[in-house]
Amino acid sequence: MEKNLKVLSLKYRPQSFKDIVGQNIVSEALTNSLKLDKTPNAYLFTGIRGVGKTTIARIIAKSLNCENGANKLCSNLYCETCKAITNSNHIDVLEMDAASKTGVDDVRDLIEFSKYPPNIAKFKIFIIDEVHMLSKQAFNALLKTLEEPPNYLKFIFATTEIKKIPVTIISRCQRYDLSRVKFDILLDYLKNICKLEKANINEEALKLIVKLSEGSVRDALSLLDRGLLSIDDSELTLTKAQEIYGFFDKSTILELIEEILRGQESAVKEIYNKIYEKGVEPKIFLNEFLEILYYIKNISSLKIDGNLFTLNDKEFEKINFISKNIDISDIHLFWQLTLKAIEELNLVNNQNLSVEMFLIRLIYIKNFSKSKELNYKNEKNIFIQSKTNIKEDNKSVKQIKKIAQQEISLEEDKDETSNKSKIETFEKLIELCNKNKEVKLKYELENNVNLVSFSHGLIEIAFNDNLEKNFIKNLTNKLYIWTKTRWIISFTKEKGEPTIKEKKKIIKNISFEEIKKGQLYNEVKNSYPDAELIDIIEKKKYD
């Protein structure tokens, strides 16, 4: 094996179970099964990229075929078998990428090859990476051989998408789920690599690498490699790392959220454009935006020194301040809209413009642009002070009373508006359409809308080909007139509820069946055999 590899992810690739990072339970189970000689016909490893699926597959192949046996697996001086497997050129250990060989003919060739015993090793082993890419016919061809293979044959499958593998295949394998590597474990691992490489890197920069890797060891090593190549002999600091990886600190997003709540459209666009100019990908930005929303919602239960909560004191204080002065309903709405924005990124060519419009939408969805001064901006909180017994000069008191009266007036107006136009459910919306004689909208809502979710300010519906083309525009305009709030109506590929018309039909059919089972219906049928139940009319109650 070549020891002088340049790429860190290859140079430090684990060669035994004790070297595997963050998968102790799986490593222990596999080690025990090999020691007890209780190995399955087929292994199946699943998990995100870079957590050790293919690496573990090769270690198993070495353990089964090592000249020294599984209990004395080569660690430094490799036997010829271990050396060949490590270098992926052993004649009896075949590695196949299912992404490039997906057809049934490829699998048939593999099965034909499996009929012959190993040439020099104890076991013939087939390692199939990204096995979910195989076609349905290819999986079917594997079934019989997989269930009853020859004693000398072992299958090892690796996949990132377990749901795409047929259950019939999974049931014939011994499955192991590899988890994301925890923050602390991966950080310690990178620190050790830096010592071995004699790399000059700041711990905060290492934490950023761990965060960006999302629990993937290979991603972490690749990012570290990229960072070390960019600094020559200088230190890799957090600031430098942020520039290299196109990252930005959370204080920028906090500033952005403050400007959104102030309704400052131009400031919001300016801050986001600065972020984008640093090379930050729109999807990364939106995920960071989600993280900040989570912190704002759960600030009371988080610790500043927690592993996942990597904020400095100043950022912690700012999040705490915002969380005390923003409604939870606004946070939930922002969260939903951010998730929708992430989904919509793939629908547009210029993702940057999509994110910019999303941020502007946040301002206008809650009419923040109409609020000149928000409570959280006015740190003196004049309205609260006006209710206390603060002794000031007459001029100041008059000013405070005047502001307080304005605030109270605004609150009364707000309450009056909300009482008039609050729409809590889909059924209430239909009632409002009927009340305002919006017959066309009512018809569309009842007959052509498959509801997915409904909350104040946001309606999500499934695709419907019968929906009138101007429905969204008309309903949005009417909702704004009725509620004085801008609503978002979005389409989704999810299957929605039956339409109101369909629900009524289902209920009517159930009523038909119940009546047919009743005594009255049977008596009528006995007297009039040709009688048929045509309709059900609810009896009206009169006072």
- Look-up: residue for tokens 């293919």? 54
Pull the structure tokens for residue 226.
């990229």
Give the residue-averaged pLDDT of 175-180: 92
- Give the span between the Cα atoms of 319 and 257, in whole angstroms: 10
pLDDT at 189 over 90: yes
For the sheet with 42-46, list strands across it: 93-97, 124-129, 153-159, 42-46, 174-177
Q: 133-137, 287-291, 364-368: which range is least confident on average?
A: 364-368
429 pLDDT tier (thresholds 50, 70, 90): confident
CATH number 1.20.272.10 given to 250-370: yes
Let me know if the fold of 8-177 is the same as that of 426-492: no
Cα 468 off chain centre by: 33
The packing angle between helices 282-297 and 351-365, to 10°, is: 30
409 pLDDT tier (thresholds 50, 70, 90): very low
pTM of the entire predicted model: 0.59
Helix ranges (H only) for 75-216 are 80-86, 104-114, 136-147, 167-170, 183-197, 203-213
pLDDT at 445 over 60: yes
Give the residue-averaged pLDDT of 308-330: 75
Contact between 191 and 156 under an 8 Å Cβ cutoff? The reply is no
In this structure, what are the phi and psi dihedrals at residue 187, rounded to the nearest 5 degrees?
Answer: -65, -45
pLDDT at 542 over 70: no
Comparing CA positions, the residue from 172, 191, 189, 171 lying closest to residue 181 is: 189
pLDDT at 25 over 80: yes
246 pLDDT tier (thresholds 50, 70, 90): confident
Pull the structure tokens for residue 26.
């799986």
Please, which residues bridge with residue 454 across strands?
459
Return the domain boundaries, the chain.
Answer: 8-177, 183-244, 250-370, 382-416, 426-492
pLDDT at 148 over 70: yes
**What pLDDT is recorded for position 370?**
56
Comparing CA positions, the residue from 282, 365, 372 lying closest to residue 331 is: 365
- Give the span between the Cα atoms of 72 and 89, in whole angstroms: 22
**What pLDDT is recorded for position 403?**
39
Superfamily name with CATH number, domain 8-177: P-loop containing nucleotide triphosphate hydrolases (3.40.50.300)
522 pLDDT tier (thresholds 50, 70, 90): confident
What average pLDDT is seen over the chain?
79
CATH number 1.20.120 given to 426-492: no
pLDDT at 402 over 70: no
CATH number 1.10.8.60 given to 183-244: yes
297 pLDDT tier (thresholds 50, 70, 90): confident
Q: 156-165, 239-248, 471-480: which range is least confident on average?
A: 239-248
